Chain A
Amino acid sequence: MGALQSLSDEPEYRELAEKTGFSFEQIGILHKRFKQLSHNEDMLRRADLDTIPDLACNPIRTQIIEAFFDKRNFHQNGDGTVEEISFEEFLVVMSHFRPPALNMTEEQREKVRREKLRFLFNMHDTDNDGTITLEEYRHVVEELLSRSGALGKETAKGIADAAMLEVASISMGHMEPDEFYEGITFEHFLKILKDIEIETKMNIRFLNMDTTTLCNRDSSSIR
């Protein structure tokens, strides 16, 4: 049943492949997974993602799930959130985790880096005003430390404040005592994280190779 459906999606796959850069097999596998998660429907909801058991012990799962329903990650200059997503949007979000190709020029690398950091930025900037305010940053750190109990709350604030101060110092250099640093803009964000080399780190290996972990009975039919 899945086989017939995927054969008829062939032209769609081509379009998706062009748009996101995945190969056909990768798209096929992800489609399988999408169907698995959405119980064979066309649209995926938050509740579907919530049911994944492994995700339960992840401290930032709410943010991760939100990222899938965030229009800013769909590359369509949209805004706000949606309630359910189609396979195409699922793929676009996943494409942020594609590893960079081997022979890339510096500009292409820079572009990939910007894209990935944009994804991260969107995850932090929940109210979509283009800056990460102190409150939002505090929230991020709190979530990260959310499983360490009461000890976390107080220190989280301190850590977030220190981090914010660091960003401000690096980006602004010098501020008068009565000036106010609004929040981390995307450019500042790029600046402070430029040493991490995110294009080498933010990748999922799965999307690199053809694994046989799921539903490989039908993978041969996806051609």
Chain B
Amino acid sequence: MSLSFLERGLLLLVMLIFLEGTVLTLGAASSPDISAQDNTGGGHDRRDDHRGIAGSHEQTNYTYTKKAFPVLSLDYHHIQVPFEISLWVLLASLMKLGFHLIPRLSGIVPESCLLIVVGLLVGGLIKLAGEEVPPVLDSNLFFLCLLPPIILDAGYFLPIRPFMENIGTILMFAVVGTLWNAFFVGGLLYAVCQIEGTYLSQVELLPCLLFGSIISAVDPVAVLAVFEEIHINELLHILVFGESLLNDAVTVVLYHLFEEYSGAGEVTPMDVVLGVICFLIVSLGGIAVGAIYGILAAFTSRFTSHTRVIEPLFVFVYSYMAYLSAEMFHLSGIMALIACGAVMRPYVEANISHKSHTTVKYFLKMWSSVSETLIFIFLGVATVAGPHAWNWTFVSVTVILCLVSRVIGVVGLTFIINKFRIVKLTTKDQFIVAYGGLRGAIAFSLGYLLNKDHFPMRTMFLTAIITEIFFTVFVQGMTIKPLVDLLAVKKKQEAKRSINEEIHTQFLDHLLTGIEDICGHYGHHHWKDKLNRFNKKYIKKCLIAGERYKEPQLIAFYHKMEFKQAIELVESGGGVKLPSAMPSQVSMQNIQPKKLPPAVAERALPQFTKGREEEIRKILRSNLQKTRQRLRSYNRHTLVADPFEDGWNDFLLKKQRMIELEKKMSNYLTVPAAPPDSPTMCRARLASDPNAFYNIKASSEGVPTIQVDLASPQSPDSVNMLNEFSKRGAKDQGLGQREVATRDEDQGLMMKPSSAGKEEKGEEEGGNKNPGLMRCLSDPGPSNEDEEDEPFLP
């Protein structure tokens, strides 16, 4: 996006002004004095019963004196709370926008740092304005509202395969690593506190250990925020990220254990045993709760085929309830959320429509993004607000100890883990894992929760926690990217999965299972295979609607890919030229053995008579014209776009993309079937080359078959391919991506002339033949049915 300098400057100015206004309002609004007395309207009696003693006074002293009717009145506190929340969210989002307008900055400094700085600024401004800084990072707000979206997003899109392959390592780091960190930091801190000159001798052992356990947990929010920008390879990403998720159980148990017994002053071995049992219950219980809700969600989604619009809601609500239920029992809410998302995903995705899937994805990303931004801003504000008790020794020792313990922990654990791993972790990997152990807002909130009376040194703890967070986020967060480049750590591979890789991954799975069976060893692959078979046989039957549970993964993958390509193609403008214009394609006929054609031809050549063919072609042509004419009329949904209004640049860009897409498309044999008509598509269609309409007409005359196929039209094999995909046959014929496929949303394209078995009238309902498209088509799209009420064919 190339905004001119002037535009950028203007936008920044607007945001700054807005920021200033926001800050003042927020600062002013949060002080309780102003709220209740806002009554400039006179005679305005509607008052919230909870606030405003003044209100009740007015009601009791109510005497009717006739004043002028209040035409306009201001009642701020009526909408105060939602207004403030919206202002914060808006501020967060505008900040996020702003950062990306300054290109070089977002490359050097990770977003989290910038957001904390903004928070500091906002807090500072509020303080300068003389108002009291609101305690925004309230623990309740944090744990119940801000954290769940981020964790759900992480859990729903967790890459299960790498996660499970490395689960042993992850668990080691999460459980043993966190325990080691907690005790090392806590213990050494206590030792330091006992040293004479530090004036800290009133800090006892248990509070120190409690502090250690709070600060030793790697924070998922911070890890996500920083690692997202460095694009590190999948293994390291999943190791650090998985660790940050799974250490929640340990943190919860340690926190509660030490908090409980800090009052008593000692922890007996019995308590330790109970603590271990508690840990098992917390983690396994959390996972169980999450799994139960996940299965419920999957089961519910089985029946939503008629009410597609509320499908995403089930995903969100069930997950949130899983989190809340786990929190109710003081189980690990994070693990419950992860388990819920991971368990329900394969089944829900098989059941819900394509649009719902997109909705779920984007809502989750949106919420988690806003949450993350808000968390960092609030951290900044809380830093300005909170009472601080700075103690050089304590703080610096904390920071140093955290680093040291992390490094020792990772190195030591890797040494043990490598004995059991096939793919060992190298020193570079260890360094990144150690360096990527960032602390974040969870530590702060846990510290905030501490009771002031039981822990008189709470403010000192908070200061130390904030310093540690700042250190990790700023120093480690900023330097990790150049270090990754310096050490030449393997980066994430951007390439999309190709069908060859998918085939071979599956092949490899079966091969390794087979070899394990031959060896007589019941290893990973054996159990994984058993689980898969169990899943397919019993679970999928219950949880997946219709016939889709029978669909093997490879086929599902293939359909998904084709579908994606089809949508891409249509959205790019659809003015794809036929490959005959481009000699440099490898098309189907290049790979088909030459001896095949005779057999193929007699089988696949359409059993049309000449006359029939002419008829069909005429029908197609007439409908082409009809569509064009229809689109010319003005309609809210189908604005006739001036092809030149989009600018010549976009035009060329689209052409370029189309060419690239075509190259990609030639890898796949089916013609993309167009999704139901959408405003985007119409506009795209018109915005592209207006002459392209004529191209289609011209080409269809030269082609013996009735379809615009990206494969070479002369090849009889392209027809053959269409035959194979009988489920798509009817859809694809004749119109390619240009014509809108569905008039009758339930049954897809209906071709009146039934020929060569390509017709699929009514077969769609039968089943799962083309589930991807089916789901898409059965969606209630934008209601532009009014212009398409004619059947496609007369």
Contact = CB atoms under 8 A, between A and B. Distances in A.
B512 interface: yes
A161 B588 contact: yes
Given A204-B515, A206-B516, A206-B519, A165 B422 contact: no
B517 A163 contact: no
B499 A179 contact: no
A1 interface: no
A166 B667 contact: yes
Contact of A64 (B505, B515, B712): B515
13 contacts: A64-B515, A102-B418, A120-B508, A133-B593, A155-B725, A158-B669, A161-B588, A162-B668, A165-B591, A169-B667, A192-B498, A200-B423, A205-B521
Interface of A: 30, 33, 36-37, 49, 52, 54-55, 57-61, 64, 68, 94, 97, 99, 102, 120, 123, 133-135, 140-141, 144-145, 147-149, 151-152, 154-155, 157-159, 161-169, 172-177, 179-181, 192-193, 195-196, 198, 200-206, 208-209, 211, 213-214
Nearest to A174: B584
A161 to B, nearest CB: 6
A52 B516 CA distance: 11
Main secondary structure on chain A at its contact with chain B?
A: helix
Given A168-B590, A168-B591, A152 B666 contact: no
A58 B525 CA distance: 12
Given A120-B508, A206-B521, 19 more contacts: A52-B518, A58-B517, A94-B515, A94-B519, A144-B506, A144-B507, A145-B555, A148-B552, A165-B666, A166-B500, A177-B583, A180-B594, A181-B591, A192-B500, A200-B422, A205-B521, A206-B523, A208-B422, A211-B521
Contacts of A102: 418, 424
Contact of A169 (B493, B586, B725, B726): B586
Interface string B571-591: 000000000000111111111
A54 B517 contact: yes
B510 A144 contact: yes
The 10 A-B pairs of least Cβ separation, nearest first, read A206-B521, A174-B584, A54-B517, A64-B514, A99-B422, A102-B424, A168-B586, A200-B423, A169-B586, A175-B586
Nearest to A184: B500
A208 B586 CA distance: 44
A163 B503 contact: yes
Contact of B500 (A49, A147, A163, A200): A163
Contact of A144 (B503, B516, B517): B503
A102 B414 CA distance: 13
Contact of B593 (A134, A154, A163, A173): A134
B550 A159 contact: no
A165 B593 contact: no
Contact of B519 (A30, A99, A167): A30
Nearest to B589: A177
A159 B422 contact: no
A58 B591 contact: no
B590 A205 contact: no
Contacts of A64: 511, 514-515, 518
Given A33-B519, A55-B514, A204-B512, A179 B507 contact: no
Contacts of A209: 420
A49 B517 CA distance: 10
A144 B201 CA distance: 69
A151 B511 CA distance: 23
A141 B724 CA distance: 15
B513 interface: yes
A102 B424 CA distance: 6
